[in-house]
Structure 1
């Protein structure tokens, strides 16, 4: 691929810049351990309980009735995590919990070792970088701010979560290009999921799939596959 014509690199996080293992074995368990405390301390937070209760009515797999008690909300959120639901309110709550963990020093995010150098090259060549992940914008910023390589947030000009739409929907990528005031054909999107690559392609964006340690095998697809960012823009 001719990266020289690329104006902006759009990054997924899990399985792309950050190991899947970190998300599923560190971040998710940390939120699960702290849901009860969070709801006990934030019982008056407007909207949290109401939105979760409303959503629970459509969650046919969950057999318990969800109430606004900290225990009930906590158990329902644990269930949502176990099913890897991409629910906006859940991601927001997790982001709030992770913020406490990062700021206290309990959490430190893992980043693949080739990522900081690639971000440096993007910046030095005058190109742009942004993030699109199912995690909340706050959670995205925390991962890059409190990571083993130091604060990497200076390299990203914008962050997008599912408020723009689902990652397997072409219109989400069209909206991102519009918000960044850039033609889709000038964007390269890095992901580890072929369905996301397919959606980006429909929007005119060029996708590349990362084959990182721990990533899930993808079905047959026509997209370029790389193992790391070494050599890009070198």
Structure 2
């Protein structure tokens, strides 16, 4: 079956993991408390704070306690939706102020542009929120890359190691699962995508291997049209 679409992970795939852990997370840890104190009464933020209270099982937690919970989740790299949503809000202000620039590997930029020009549909699936995904690509060091993408998926679609998540993504596009190539640096995610019927290719930018899957060190080594 011919590949007609590419679904890509972000961390460790299109972008350096260090960008998230060394730039974005510290930025959130520094700026989130003031952001919440200033915006806690706005509807969008208040809804997320209530979701944090529900997730933590502390429905009566005041604003300062919610901030404490969130800081703990950040330190633990928890994949919790209200945290990801609030992070996205904080990052949006940072990107818009020019304090943040999204990191995307040059080889990924070149390949994504080339594949788009060839008519392939491009999608993103990351544990970061859709908003955060759009910010990384929209305010990237290479400029606004969002026109290249046809859609974005996050943990609201499902867990990244669950085959059903990839089946849902395929059904949300105009492509059959076996027409989609999934790119990731995590073998369990590649396994799940394959079980859903997708083709896979791993990225090993720091060396190593991804057992059971084809893998490369750079996007420049991937040609979806000959897989």
TM-score, normalised to structure 2's length? 0.92
Maintained 8 Å contact 1:9/1:187 = yes
Maintained 8 Å contact 2:49/2:82 = no
Alignment partner for residue 103 of structure 1, among 87, 96, 105?
Answer: 96
Give the aligned partner of residue 48 of structure 1.
48
Once superposed, what is the RMSD of the aligned Cα atoms? 1.8
Distance 2:80 2:107 in 1: 30
Give the aligned partner of residue 105 of structure 2.
112
Give the aligned partner of residue 152 of structure 1.
145
Matched, 1:222 2:212: yes
The structure in which a higher percent of residues are helix is 2
Report how far residue 176 of structure 1 moved. Answer: 0.4
Distance 1:66 1:207 in 2: 42
Aligned residues: 221
Maintained 8 Å contact 1:67/1:73 = no
Report how far residue 181 of structure 1 moved. Answer: 2.2
3-state SS of 2:219 partner: coil
Higher mean alpha-carbon deviation, 74-83 vs 137-146, is at 74-83
Report how far residue 67 of structure 1 moved. Answer: 4.9
Superposed CA deviations along residues 189-213 of structure 1, whole A, max 9, x for unmatched, are 0001111011101100112110113
Matched, 1:14 2:11: yes
1:158-169 residue pairs with structure 2 within 5 A?
158-169=151-162
Give the aligned partner of residue 171 of structure 2.
178
Gaps of 5+ in 2: none
Report how far residue 50 of structure 1 moved. Answer: 1.8
Gaps of 5+ in 1: 58-64
Report how far residue 231 of structure 1 moved. Answer: 4.1
Distance 2:19 2:151 in 1: 23
Report how far residue 70 of structure 1 moved. Answer: 3.1
Distance 1:172 1:25 in 2: 29
Superposed CA deviations along residues 145-181 of structure 1, whole A, max 9, x for unmatched, are 1111111111101001111101011100000000002
Report how far residue 66 of structure 1 moved. Answer: 7.5
Distance 2:166 2:69 in 1: 31
Give the aligned partner of residue 26 of structure 2.
29
Give the aligned partner of residue 127 of structure 2.
134
3-state SS of 1:114 partner: helix
Maintained 8 Å contact 2:48/2:85 = no
Distance 2:89 2:61 in 1: 18
